[in-house]
Amino acid sequence: MIGISSRSAGVLLIPKPGIGEYAVLDVVEGQEQDPVEAQYIYSAVQDWEEIKGTDPAALLETAKREYWLVRTVSLLHLAIGGLEEPLEKRVLEHVEEILGSRVSSEKALDRLLVAPLANPRSPLTPANSALSYGFSAVASILDELAELQPLLHRLTDLWLGLAETAFSDFSESREMIWTTLVEKCGMKQLLKAGSRHEFTTQWNLLAFHFFAPQSRSGVGILGKELSRRLFPSEEQEEIIAASLTEAAKPTSGDEEEVGVHEAFKRVERQIAAIAQAVSEGRDAKAEKFLRELIRQQTSFSGGESHVVKSLCNIAQRCADMFRMDFEFVCLDKALQLALSDAWTLIQYGNHLKRAGNYDKALEVFDQAEQLGESYVARSSIADVYSQQGDYAKAIHTYKAIPNWNNEPKVCTAIADNLRRMGLMDESEAAYAELIHLAQQGLSKFADSEIRAQIGIAEIAKRQGKLKDALRAYHGIMARKNVDDRERFFCRLGLCHVLKLMDKFDDAYAIVDEVIQDYPFSMEARFVRGSILGLIGQELKGLKDLPESIGPPSWREWLRPYYRGLLLLKLQRYGDAKKNLVEGLSNAIASGEEKAIVRMAAALYFLREDETVEVDGILSQIPDLHDCHAQYLSLILKLHSATLREDLAVMESLRKQIAEIRIVDERLEKVVVALGERNFSLAITYETDALLKLAA
Amino acid sequence: MTMASPALSPQDTCSVCGAPLSATKRHCPTCRADVGAPNVRRCCTNENLKALATRFDDARTRATTIGCSKEFCTLSDLMEKKFGVVVSMPAGVARKLFEDPNSLYANYEQLVGGNLRKSAGLNNDRHRCAVGGILFGSYANSIIYGALSLAENGLPTYGTVHCRLRSITIDKRTSFLETNSFKFIQDHGIVPGSKLPVGHIACWEHRHYLVLAKLADRLSAGQTESDWQAILIQSDGNDRKNDSFVEAHIFKSFDRNAIESLTATTGKKLRREEKLDLDIAISKFNSIKRKLR
């Protein structure tokens, strides 16, 4: 049975059996109207849609569902576009009611993702209004809509960049395929896909909505093409490389002669524009700029070496943004232009290391070693072991480098690894030795002094000597010979100490300044997001913690970790689980970092009272050397034992906790809260402790 | 009386390429030249114009006989200056008119095209086409119905919101029928395949002939503008069978920029969501008007 529905008028025409006429139903009330009415409803032809159902009741049900969904989306469009205040409140209240009873938030969000917003931040104003009125469902949708904009931009850029021939198998128009995708395929899930597999699994749902076999096969081909571009991996490298190589061919000798300075300035601007496009998720635009950069630089004699440097520069910026996918695109191209360049190979190996592709990274460093860069290559190999959490092997490898104790960077790395192993005295001695050598005037060691002092400050922090750590960081900051990179790390380190001391305003001021200086540093943004969460501005904090665009990488675990904790505070438990629990399985982390990620996942399960899961996760946490982390892990274990009412374990844990130096007064309050079985208060304190902990 | 515009026939040939034209198509099938909205072209056949002129002349004679020649002339002048078309619609449809995805989204047109929806196969919609099909044939679904009005209000039985349209946006594509098309078909015993009676439809330029031909017998001395509005649009607000008005037929749709004024039906009990839709439409309309000023 086929009915005709007007979604804005809320009218359904249902055929009457045998007489060739239609019953006209009011979708909201389900009542029959004057049959004459349908003719006079002014509604554009496009507003009328055929719907199918087994009987009139099923048709009415479908029409109702669609009416309320379209109404929700329409009202949200109006709110995003701007409404006068009293009207805005009524609209948001109405939408909140609809979302509570008639329409799923997920479906409404999918429909809103039909195209990127002209102003990606436009949903935030009504989101804040909704929150101030207490309409949390509306606030969540609008907030997520804003968050997903970079991902949506990226997908639509790729979609619009596809050649017309990609659609030649379809009998449907390109626009109709997109519309079907938005309405039937779950855009949010598609955008959030973290891998090729996840993307294609979601994408292939689209095939069920096309009946022609050719269209169905076209869906598969399109999905493969998009996933290739969204998630470049080894077998796809050739495609990207081929397109770039083609574009990179020197075009002709008629390239306008430009001065060296002008050319340098232009390249700077191009690199900034590429980085900006990548940060916004506009990959097609970034690739276009990249091709242009390559074309221009290779048009000069000997320009290949310049372009390789430019590509490595962009790759580093991408790494700062945790955009591993685009970093790879740049490095892949650089390697094609300079396959025997050891430094490019080392940067590529570092990329692989951060991606957790350790075996391949080691292979690449071996190649670099054969090209003559033995010291850096061996040191990089040791870095791989360190990142894997095998600190002893890392130290062993560093010490196998000839004349290692005369290499300040190697000595610093050894001290760092000793610290990670929990050998604080040995580590501190190693840092002190570096400082001593620098102060003796050994020029080679001059640069390592600041780095060593940062190491000592970190030791003080881990031992709970926060005032010492603060003093040490302030001392470093007061010095004039601190280079930009060291100052960057120093400021972030100082910020973490201030967080642990509950000096959130000071911490915020510092990290905000870092972001002004390094707008592409996602790590700094993550930290700012965590501080905002600690001062009760979770929604604002989430803006600094957007969904990931690229594949996971080292240190990127901070994103789902902080994000999940903020979502937990916002009581968006489904999303919190995705970030904290799934984030755990995807995290490229080791040692204490991995332990911290585990604690966050355990916290989620504690909120759910799922103690079996909690205990399973916490049992994987080894002995910790950071006193804050150690204290918190015991608190979480106590929380679980209290839930289970396991008195013996509770008693044992209380004793252990009492023996530890109190490093966070609010965590001490958790012990009291658990004693009173006030679990929600305990969760609040534990969440804040985790937000403060990660660094 | 003489008619000002050239008398066209739906079966005329294209003035650009000379090819035969279809009575139901706006564009020449051969050279794609715009030959005018088919509903308007049909009003301009010699046969219809002659019949309409005859009815108008008869009406003037009748008005003179009853001592209302002054009122006849005043109303005729007023019509040219003040008569417009009011389309009445449900509040949800009015609200939708003010939703503009193109201004909200980037690349919206490129992604979803002009039509977001797969429109229904309305040619099979017998109910919607039963009457329209008799009057307009294959372009029945392109016709938007409104009422001729001296004021901002339209027929409350057709929707909560009355949109008076800017004449310049519709005058080339609007025709008029002297009454409700259902009633017209019923009164004249028209069935599919019948030839439509002539002299009862008019294009924009001649709309006052149609109105005066219809209303001449109801003129009386001393009538004012509000009296004429009251006899032009009559409705009890409940039963459409009791409505009386001059029906406007607009070829193809219009958008929010075509709206001159937007008012709500008074005294009708609205559901909460209808009230909200109405307030949104009014607020958005006022906001657009403010910007234009």
Beta-bridge partner residues of B202: B176
Banded pLDDT at A185 (limits 50, 70, 90): confident
Q: What distance in Å separates residue A352's CA from the closest CA in chain B?
A: 36
Write out pLDDT tens, residues B155-165.
Answer: 887 788 999 99
Residue B96 resides in a domain: yes
pLDDT at B4: 34
Closest CB from B100, B107, B120 relative to A50: B120
Q: Is residue A692 a contact partner of residue A534, using CB atoms and an 8 Å limit?
A: yes
CA-nearest residue to B157 within chain A is A37
Q: Is residue B210 a contact partner of residue B201, using CB atoms and an 8 Å limit?
A: yes
pLDDT at A233: 55
- The DSSP string of A490-510 is HHHHHHHHHHHTT-HHHHHHH
Distance of CA A149 to the CA centre of its chain: 13
- Least Cα distance to A286 among A331, A328, A326 occurs for A326
Write out pLDDT tens, residues A299-336.
Answer: 777 777 788 888 999 998 898 888 888 999 999 999 98
A216 and B CB contact within 8 Å = no
Buried b (16+ CB within 10 A) or exposed e, A50-65: bbebeebeebbebbbb
Q: Is residue A384 a contact partner of residue A372, using CB atoms and an 8 Å limit?
A: no
Q: Is residue B35 a contact partner of residue B10, using CB atoms and an 8 Å limit?
A: no
What is the DSSP-derived secondary structure letter of residue B194? Answer: P
Banded pLDDT at A36 (limits 50, 70, 90): low
Whether residue B292 is predicted with pLDDT greater than 70 in this model: the reply is no
Q: Judge: B90–A41 Cβ closer than 8 Å, yes or no.
A: yes
Token pair recorded at residue A295: 């074309």
pLDDT at B255: 87
Q: What distance in Å separates residue B91's CA from the closest CA in chain A?
A: 8
Q: Judge: B271–A159 Cβ closer than 8 Å, yes or no.
A: no
AA letter at A542:
L
A211 and B CB contact within 8 Å = no
Tracing tokens 């005295």 back to the chain, one arrives at: A425
Q: Is residue A274 a contact partner of residue A267, using CB atoms and an 8 Å limit?
A: no
Q: What distance in Å separates residue B111's CA from the closest CA in chain A?
A: 6
Residue B112 resides in a domain: yes
Helix spans in A54-148 (H): 56-81, 85-101, 105-112, 124-133, 136-147
CA-nearest residue to B114 within chain A is A175
What is the DSSP-derived secondary structure letter of residue B9? Answer: -
Q: Where are the beta strands (DSSP E) in chain B?
A: 84-89, 143-149, 161-165, 174-177, 201-203, 247-251, 259-264
Whether residue A135 is predicted with pLDDT greater than 60 in this model: the reply is yes
AA letter at A555:
R
R_g (Cα) of chain A, nearest Å: 29
In which domain, by residue range, is B143 found?
Answer: 49-292
Write out pLDDT tens, residues A619-675.
Answer: 999 888 899 999 999 999 999 999 999 999 999 999 999 888 777 788 888 999 999
Distances (CA, A) of A622 to A585, A592, A625: 17, 8, 10
Residues of chain B with pLDDT > 70: what percent? 88
Cα separation, A135 vs A94, in Å, equals: 10
Buried b (16+ CB within 10 A) or exposed e, B146-164: bbbbbbebbbbbbbbbbbb
Whether residue B189 is predicted with pLDDT greater than 60 in this model: the reply is yes
Angle between helices A149-161 and A213-230 (to 10 degrees): 120
Q: Judge: A4–B122 Cβ closer than 8 Å, yes or no.
A: yes
Cβ neighbours around B99 below 10 Å, total = 20
Q: Using a CB-CB distance cutoff of 8 angstroms, which residues of chain B are in contact with residue A44?
A: 253
Q: Which of A48-57, A216-225, A242-251, B234-243 has the lowest mean pLDDT?
A: A242-251
Write out pLDDT tens, residues A500-543.
Answer: 999 999 999 999 999 888 877 889 999 999 999 999 999 889 98
Q: Judge: B126–A50 Cβ closer than 8 Å, yes or no.
A: no
A84 and B CB contact within 8 Å = yes
Beta-bridge partner residues of B262: B163
- Least Cα distance to A53 among A14, A22, A18 occurs for A14
Average pLDDT of every residue of chain A: 87
Q: What angle do CA A584, A460, A435 make, to 5 degrees?
A: 115
Helix spans in B35-155 (H): 38-43, 46-65, 69-82, 91-97, 101-104, 108-112, 126-136
> Is residue B221 packed enough to be buried (19+ CB in 10 Å), middle (13-18) or exposed (0-12)?
exposed
Write out pLDDT tens, residues A549-600.
Answer: 777 888 889 999 999 999 999 988 888 998 999 888 888 888 899 999 999 9
Banded pLDDT at A262 (limits 50, 70, 90): low
Cα separation, A460 vs A444, in Å, equals: 27
B151 torsion bin: left (phi>0), alpha (psi -120 to 50), beta (else): beta
Whether residue B121 is predicted with pLDDT greater than 60 in this model: the reply is no
Q: Using a CB-CB distance cutoff of 8 angstroms, which residues of chain A are in contact with residue B287?
A: 84
A606 torsion bin: left (phi>0), alpha (psi -120 to 50), beta (else): alpha
What is the DSSP-derived secondary structure letter of residue A70? Answer: H
Distances (CA, A) of B239 to A35, A77, A201: 12, 36, 55
Closest CB from B115, B126, B128 relative to A46: B115
Token pair recorded at residue A310: 């430019």
Cβ neighbours around A273 below 10 Å, total = 16
Mutating which of A40, A49, A67, A210 best tests the B interface, going by the most B Cβ atoms within 10 A?
A40
Whether residue A254 is predicted with pLDDT greater than 90 in this model: the reply is no
Banded pLDDT at B204 (limits 50, 70, 90): very high
Closest CB from B88, B111, B121 relative to A178: B111
Tracing tokens 């902990």 back to the chain, one arrives at: A693
Q: Is residue A16 a contact partner of residue A57, using CB atoms and an 8 Å limit?
A: no
Higher-pLDDT residue of A237 and A230 is A230
**The dihedral of CA B84, B85, B90, B91: what is its sign?**
negative
Closest CB from B101, B158, B279 relative to A77: B101
pLDDT at B13: 83
CA-nearest residue to B251 within chain A is A44
User: In sequence order, which residues have a C-beta less than 8 Å from that of residue A110 and are 6 or more positions away?
Assistant: A182, A183, A185, A186, A187, A188
Alpha carbons within 13 angstroms on the beta-carbon side of residue B60 total 13
pLDDT at B132: 60
Whether residue A615 is predicted with pLDDT greater than 70 in this model: the reply is yes
Q: State the total domains in chain B.
A: 1
Biggest distance spanned by C-alpha atoms of chain B: 65
pLDDT at B164: 95
Cα separation, A234 vs A332, in Å, equals: 10
pLDDT at A645: 94
B240 and A CB contact within 8 Å = yes
Cα separation, A415 vs A420, in Å, equals: 9
Q: Which helix (H) or strand (E) holds A213?
A: helix A213-230
Beta-bridge partner residues of A86: none
Beta-bridge partner residues of B66: none
Banded pLDDT at B15 (limits 50, 70, 90): confident
B133 and A CB contact within 8 Å = no
Q: What distance in Å separates residue A128's CA from the closest CA in chain B?
A: 19
pLDDT at A412: 94
Q: Judge: A46–B116 Cβ closer than 8 Å, yes or no.
A: yes
Token pair recorded at residue A211: 């009946």
Residue B17 resides in a domain: no
pLDDT at A339: 81
By residue count, chain A amounts to: 695
Banded pLDDT at B9 (limits 50, 70, 90): low
Residue B13 resides in a domain: no
Q: What distance in Å separates residue A48's CA from the closest CA in chain B?
A: 5
Put the strands of the sheet holding A2-6 in their side by side order: A31-32, A22-26, A11-15, A2-6, A48-52
- Least Cα distance to A689 among A619, A614, A622, A639 occurs for A639
A18 and B CB contact within 8 Å = no
The model's pTM is: 0.62
* First-residue to last-residue Cα distance in chain A: 61
Q: Judge: A175–B271 Cβ closer than 8 Å, yes or no.
A: no
Q: Judge: A40–B159 Cβ closer than 8 Å, yes or no.
A: yes
Residue B32 resides in a domain: no
